[in-house]
Structure 1
Amino acid sequence: MKKLSHMLLSAGLALGVAVTALPVSAQQASPEGQARPIKPASPAAIAYAKEILAMKNASAMYANAVPNMVQRVKDSLLQSNLNYQKDLNEVAITIAQTMAGRDKEITEQMAKIYASDFTEAELKDLATFYKSPLGQKLLVQEPQSISASMTYMQQWAQQFSEQVNGLFRAEMRKRGKEI
């Protein structure tokens, strides 16, 4: 139970930090289930956006989106249809093959979002920046910096949680209640 609470605290802290790092416009609520509107963009702006996403290797985030979704749906169906396990396993392979490549839709939409959020000139400047020595260093170093930051935040959350837990226990002891 203690480990679970630490994990939840860490996850909550990481999520909180991630949300506070988002631009205010990205945090604005949209009606539930509705995507925010995307402004039309020129083909050149979309091309720059795709180039930037490729340089940032954004596709790595969703490289397994199709097989993972097929697996999740299959697992969900298995919960109430255990007697069809063999069939569902076979069907999952067929569906994964049929749906292969659909993850490219994500790339297209991400490029449209970037092209909606940035002007064509800004996207061109960003592409130029990412091709520069500093931009190349950022592309290589940023994932390592983010990983190290996440590791630190998890360690910090663990230590902070233990301190807060100790304070709760001390205050409860003052009230004559051991927890």
Structure 2
Amino acid sequence: MRWKGIGLLVAMVFATPVARADDASHLALARDLVAAMHSADQMRQALPAMTKQVRPVLFAQAGGDDKSIDDFLARYNSGAEVQISEITDKIAQVYAQNFSDADLKAIATFYKSPAGIDFIAKQSTITQAAQAIGLQWGQGYVRDAVAQYKKERGVN
């Protein structure tokens, strides 16, 4: 019995590096996908909008003048590249957890294709339009649900 336990332990020890190599290979495929999707570029493009949103918050909560806020934001945003790298790595981990090697390769192949490149170029516009449609649907849903509920209850 004792030898079986030792044998199992030895097998696990020698199998671990292989599993880690597979995991590293799988994560590399996910990182390739994230790179093909230009996720880091999209985050860099979002940075000016986020900066614009945080400006009034900085004024309201910390005061200062335009120059001090601009100087601060320039310094703060210079660290964004490190954050973007960390975030894209976390995104790659999510893809790695949810897709097989074959799927990661196929999705990356799409994003590297002319259609995928065109999709990436139009993704922001499409997302904004889809969000507007979703917002309209949500507002209509609430409006219609309230109206229907009032009608059923006899409330004006």
TM class by shorter chain equals 0.5 to 0.7
2:77 maps to 1:96:
yes
Please give the per-residue CA displacement for 1:56-90, whole angstroms capped at 9, x wherever unaligned.
Answer: 333355225666666777655543432x3343432
Residues 34-49 of structure 1: pairs in structure 2 closer than 5 A:
41-42=23-24, 44-49=25-30
Code of the residue aligned with 1:58 in structure 2: it is: S
1:140 corresponds to which of 119, 128, 135: 119
* Alpha-carbon distance between aligned partners in 2 of 1:137 and 1:76, rounded to the nearest angstrom: 37
Residues 77-88 of structure 1: pairs in structure 2 closer than 5 A:
77-82=58-63, 84-85=64-65, 86-88=67-69
Task: Give me the CA root mean square deviation.
Answer: 4.1
Kept in 1: contact 2:37–2:108 (CA 8 A): no
In structure 2, list runs of 5 or more residues that go unmatched. Answer: 1-18
Kept in 2: contact 1:45–1:115 (CA 8 A): yes
- Report which stretch shifted further, 65-74 or 88-97: 65-74
Counterpart position of 1:5: none
> Higher Cα Rg: structure 1 or 2?
2
Please give the per-residue CA displacement for 1:148-178, whole angstroms capped at 9, x wherever unaligned.
Answer: 6544433333333332232344355x3xx64
2:91 maps to 1:110:
yes
1:158 corresponds to which of 121, 124, 139: 139
* Alpha-carbon distance between aligned partners in 1 of 2:88 and 2:74, rounded to the nearest angstrom: 24
Kept in 1: contact 2:110–2:116 (CA 8 A): no
In structure 1, list runs of 5 or more residues that go unmatched. Answer: 1-38
Code of the residue aligned with 2:90 in structure 1: it is: Q
Q: Normalization by structure 2: what TM-score?
A: 0.54
Q: Normalization by structure 1: what TM-score?
A: 0.49
Code of the residue aligned with 1:101 in structure 2: it is: E
Q: How much has 1:131 moved relative to structure 2? A: 5.3
* Alpha-carbon distance between aligned partners in 1 of 2:94 and 2:131, rounded to the nearest angstrom: 26
SS of residue paired to 1:63 = helix
Alignment length, in residue pairs? Answer: 132
* Alpha-carbon distance between aligned partners in 2 of 1:129 and 1:88, rounded to the nearest angstrom: 42
Structure number with the higher helix fraction is: 2
Code of the residue aligned with 1:110 in structure 2: it is: I
Kept in 2: contact 1:55–1:139 (CA 8 A): no
- Cα distance change of structure 1 residues 112 and 70 upon mapping to structure 2, 3 Å threshold: same
% same residue: 24
Kept in 2: contact 1:71–1:92 (CA 8 A): no
Code of the residue aligned with 2:76 in structure 1: it is: I
